[in-house]
Structure 1
Amino acid sequence: MELSEPIVENGETEMSPEESWEHKEEISEAEPGVGSLGDGRPPEESAHEMMEEEEEIPKPKSVVAPPGAPKKEHVNVVFIGHVDAGKSTIGGQIMYLSWALDTNQEERDKGKTVEVGRAYFETEKKHFTILDAPGHKSFVPNMIGGASQADLAVLVISARKGEFETGFEKGGQTREHAMLAKTAGVKHLIVLINKMDDPTVNWSNERYEECKEKLVPFLKKVGFNPKKDIHFMPCSGLTGANLKEQSDFCPWYIGLPFIPYLDNLPNFNRSVDGPIRLPIVDKYKDMGTVVLGKLESGSICKGQQLVMMPNKIVIIEHKSIICPGYNAVLHIHTCIEEVEITALICLVDKKSGEKSKTRPRFVKQDQVCIARLRTAGTICLETFKDFPQMGRFTLRDEGKTIAIGKVLKLVPEKD
């Protein structure tokens, strides 16, 4: 097994006699690894991707405040949900401008959001930043980056026959986005049942309740409190019904429309007295360099000098090593199974093929070793010598390929 792991000094211990069988087996040099371990921080990858292309930021629609009026609370709202559920359309209705959030040509050509689009609007009580997260599964890291900036999330669901089921069933992004939003720290969730004007729905209360009944158990399982953290409402992103004003099409809905509901939300708890912490999300140039981010803690005033980290520091990546007890995902032929590395037997010299006489404590990047793996369940495989296609495997962790190898021997499980 050859690993794609970073360089760390190695230590060795004596090898026990019962493990000497591995020295009798022939082993050839494994192929180089095709990937390396990441640092497990997709939101930072998302931020890096967003910095690669400048985006046009729509001008905020200002609401003139009367003299002596209290300062408005700033709230970040992220729109999440399955691809084509109508997130950008609803955002466009709010901004009185179609495609206000899909700001680059690629997104407008494809009709799919790729980056996390931003737009701004104000109500009587609050100043809102809309974050339109991509719904396609290929851009989940971008969606995580958007959710990590948000104070509350708006989960957009398509009520159209077939689309709701596609987004909610296994493989759809509705489930994953809701789970990732909770993981990113979003405490309040508004569920917009969109496309209620579709001919397959026609503002049906039965269809609305059906979507609610399927969503509530899952959202509760993720960690949201249905009574305190979740609010459902029907709407039409295409016509704007029930977004700003109560719609005559759904007299059965007695709650506030979307924007008035946002305006009447209680203030969010802020750590104003804490140390200043502002993770940088994006940057652009306009009369100098402007940085964007969410102030997680503390307060900032005009003219205040801040320290941006890293500050004249060389970053040395410190990634994990592989040692006994390490868990990964084994991909062998068409089978995918969780495995645990229970023992490292010896190192193998890549040039000479000689095996070390001592047992390593861990393995580093570009080393070849003989290791013992235990699968979580029963799988079908063969030794590489007898059947190469059934004995060649890959180990992956956190979406990265960390090692490739081959099966040398099948060891019966001891009682």
Structure 2
Amino acid sequence: MSPADVYDEDDFVDQYDDYDDEDGELSPEDRKAMSEGTASVRRALGKDADKVTVTQIQEALWHYYYDIDKSVAYLKKSFTSPAPKPTAKKTAEAGKKPATTPKAVKKTASNDAKKQAELTSSVSGLKINDAPPPKSKGLDVIKEFENGTVKKSTSFVVVGHVDAGKSTLMGRLLLELKFVEQRTVEKYRRQAEKSGKQSFALAWVMDQGSEERDRGVTIDIATNHFETPTTKFTILDAPGHRDFVPNMIAGASQADLAILVIDANTGAFERGLKGQTREHVLLLRSLGVQRLIVAVNKLDTVDWSKERFDEISGQVNGFLTGLGFQSKHVSFVPISGLNGDNIARKIESPAASWYLGPTLMEALETTGPTATRALGKPFRMPISEVFRSQQGTTTLAGRIESGTVQIGDSVVVQPSGESAYIKSIVVDTDAQDWAVAGQSVSIALTNIDPIHIRVGDIVCDARDPIKCGDTFTIKAMAFDHLMPMPVDLHRGRLHTPGQIQSIAAVLDKATGEVVKKKPKIVQPGGVARMSIKLSSKVPLEAGHRVVIRSGGETIAAGLLE
């Protein structure tokens, strides 16, 4: 359907914002862009501006996503160029005067209808891929990466029970490293005091949404960046509340390592271990995160008690070992997120003189990812965020799972199958010509309509795109009883409803050998091979880690075969 079919000059419908606006009008940003764009187009047209209507200008702007040059070119071609003069016919009789042309011809209803049909046809025939693709430098990206002096990139997710102090800890970390100014924190502190939430000022560095601030919980993944002399870090502050576990899954799927925040207050740790802390740790292990820093937070509230720290460390270490984490990949650090003790500077209190280990930042610096970068595999990047600029460029944020990419590369977005070109690349916060697996990037695409792009889709190499399907075989560990039943499958930002169709076998945990064929039910803790049918085709392939949920609970996790 063309824009002319769905709106007129005074009634615009935003087709590309998932129909969020209840009143059917443009968003304030689009209204501003449309007003400024209309004025710019009229200036560019000059004396020809009177030959086009406001509706025609705005239809062109909308179709070209506020690209002034393309809109002007289309309007000049379609409406302002003079029509070719007809060749005068020689009169058959020399003395006969040619017929006089009427000075004015009234428009009939049929003429109006014909012109409207032509306009509709011309607008619907517009293409957004008429711009030449960006030029590629033809770099050997792997060689550039190996020979370059690029800092190592590490993404870490911050998880833990609700109210364990995750957002406050990360706000304090950014403040201590001077990536947030003290005056910004003071502004948040004044706003928090007005809301009766004085202790939330540091958390608001990470929690920017009004609903997050009102409720005092993180809802979506809060992302931030900072760097040290050796490493560029990406923080993924995941929600702790059970209602937002799918967002926590999305955060953990992008992480190299995790900080598990434990509340050292009497009773709080025990409640957390039975609640979301347990589910978060299960999910981390299932999603392939192997390295953990356990931040024992609020230890200052129990006067830096060594006994309390040892008690928590012992219980958590036993719990983690039972889930398959190796002790050499787990470290414990006592901290106070609110006051900043042992985050970037040592604890000053004499009560903590017993602790001689690293600060949280020192632990982060020495805890690198265990997995090697999959540089030689085809390019894959799951989309975590989508932005559309007023200049018509679509920008996607995410973490590259495998392969390499450079400006000018041809890519395909799955499952839509739409192709595009890489226009620009920003790694962390720096513009670059290329990027590799393991880096958090923002890539700008050209020659693609953003209506075909959704969060959870995968950008891949056009020469070797990921295939889409709706039926998959999964080798999964059960956290609850499994049987043929409706489920939701999660991978990163992708989540799709489906059905466990059949369970082929229960497998031995150690060897993978078949223990029992076609069981009717799988007990918690068992490993099974099963078939899942999804409601729609999605981009997944062998080796992908997925999480299976039902009724708001995580019931299994495993690998696609």
Q: Using structure 2 for the length normalisation, give the TM-score.
A: 0.44
The 8 Å contact of residues 100 and 119 in structure 1, kept in 2 or not, is answered as no
Percentage of matched positions with identical amino acids: 39
Compute the displacement of 1:253 (Å). Answer: 1.6
Compute the displacement of 1:307 (Å). Answer: 2.2
Structure 2 residue corresponding to 1:213, chosen from 310, 314, 337 = 314
**Which one has more relative contact order, counting CA pairs under 8 Å at least 6 apart?**
1
Whichever residue aligns with residue 356 of structure 2, its letter is I
The 8 Å contact of residues 163 and 240 in structure 2, kept in 1 or not, is answered as yes
Matches within 5 A, 1:239-254: 239-249=339-349, 250-254=352-356
1:84 corresponds to 2:160: no
Structure 2 residue corresponding to 1:138, chosen from 225, 236, 243 = 243
Residue 278 (structure 2) aligns with: 175
Deviations 1:88-118 (A, max 9, x none): 0011011224212111000011110000110
Matches within 5 A, 1:12-23: none
Provide the rounded CA distance (Å) in 2 between the counterparts of 1:202 and 1:239: 13
Matches within 5 A, 1:12-411: 70-96=149-175, 97=185, 98=202, 99-169=204-274, 172-198=275-301, 201-226=302-327, 228-249=328-349, 250-266=352-368, 269-286=372-389, 288-312=393-417, 318=470, 327-328=483-484, 398-399=549-550
4+ residue runs over 4 A deviation = 313-317, 373-377
Compute the displacement of 1:260 (Å). Answer: 2.2
Compute the displacement of 1:143 (Å). Answer: 0.7
More helix by share: 2
Q: 1:302 to 1:317 in 2, by over 3 A?
A: closer
Q: Look up the SS of the partner of 1:109 in the other structure.
A: helix
Deviations 1:54-98 (A, max 9, x none): xxxxxxxxxxxxxx9921111111000100000000110112242
Residue 131 (structure 2) aligns with: none
Provide the rounded CA distance (Å) in 2 between the counterparts of 1:289 and 1:341: 41
Provide the rounded CA distance (Å) in 1 between the counterparts of 2:303 and 2:401: 42
The 8 Å contact of residues 152 and 189 in structure 1, kept in 2 or not, is answered as yes
Deviations 1:247-301 (A, max 9, x none): 1232222121111221233465212222211111221234632211111111222
Q: 1:140 to 1:376 in 2, by over 3 A?
A: closer
Deviations 1:354-395 (A, max 9, x none): xxxxxxxxxxxxxxxxxxx97899xxxxxxxxxxxxxxxxxx
Whichever residue aligns with residue 384 of structure 2, its letter is V
Structure number with larger C-alpha Rg: 2
The 8 Å contact of residues 483 and 521 in structure 2, kept in 1 or not, is answered as no
Deviations 1:134-167 (A, max 9, x none): 0011111111111001010110000001111110
Aligned residues: 270
Q: 1:163 to 1:341 in 2, by over 3 A?
A: same
Q: 1:69 to 1:261 in 2, by over 3 A?
A: farther
Whichever residue aligns with residue 154 of structure 2, its letter is V
Q: 1:376 to 1:143 in 2, by over 3 A?
A: closer
Whichever residue aligns with residue 91 of structure 1, its letter is M
Compute the displacement of 1:309 (Å). Answer: 1.8
Q: 1:298 to 1:319 in 2, by over 3 A?
A: closer
Q: 1:300 to 1:375 in 2, by over 3 A?
A: closer
Q: 1:133 to 1:215 in 2, by over 3 A?
A: same
Q: 1:305 to 1:156 in 2, by over 3 A?
A: same
Q: Using structure 1 for the length normalisation, give the TM-score.
A: 0.59
The 8 Å contact of residues 194 and 237 in structure 1, kept in 2 or not, is answered as yes
Provide the rounded CA distance (Å) in 1 between the counterparts of 2:394 and 2:205: 23
Q: 1:95 to 1:69 in 2, by over 3 A?
A: farther
Provide the rounded CA distance (Å) in 1 between the counterparts of 2:379 and 2:414: 12
Compute the displacement of 1:400 (Å). Answer: 5.8
Provide the rounded CA distance (Å) in 2 between the counterparts of 1:280 and 1:184: 17
Whichever residue aligns with residue 180 of structure 1, its letter is L
Whichever residue aligns with residue 313 of structure 2, its letter is K
Provide the rounded CA distance (Å) in 2 between the counterparts of 1:317 and 1:108: 39
The 8 Å contact of residues 220 and 239 in structure 2, kept in 1 or not, is answered as yes
Deviations 1:3-39 (A, max 9, x none): xxxxxxxxxxxxxxxxxxxxxxxxxxxxxxxxxxxxx
Whichever residue aligns with residue 153 of structure 2, its letter is H
For the aligned residue pairs, the C-alpha RMSD in angstroms reads 3.4
Compute the displacement of 1:216 (Å). Answer: 1.0
Provide the rounded CA distance (Å) in 1 between the counterparts of 2:325 and 2:238: 20
Q: Look up the SS of the partner of 2:311 in the other structure.
A: helix
Moved more, 236-245 or 303-312: 303-312
Q: 1:235 to 1:69 in 2, by over 3 A?
A: farther
Provide the rounded CA distance (Å) in 2 between the counterparts of 1:191 and 1:139: 21
Provide the rounded CA distance (Å) in 2 between the counterparts of 1:267 and 1:157: 22
Q: Which sections of structure 1, spanning at least 5 residues, go unmatched? A: 1-51, 54-67, 321-325, 331-339, 343-372, 378-396, 402-415
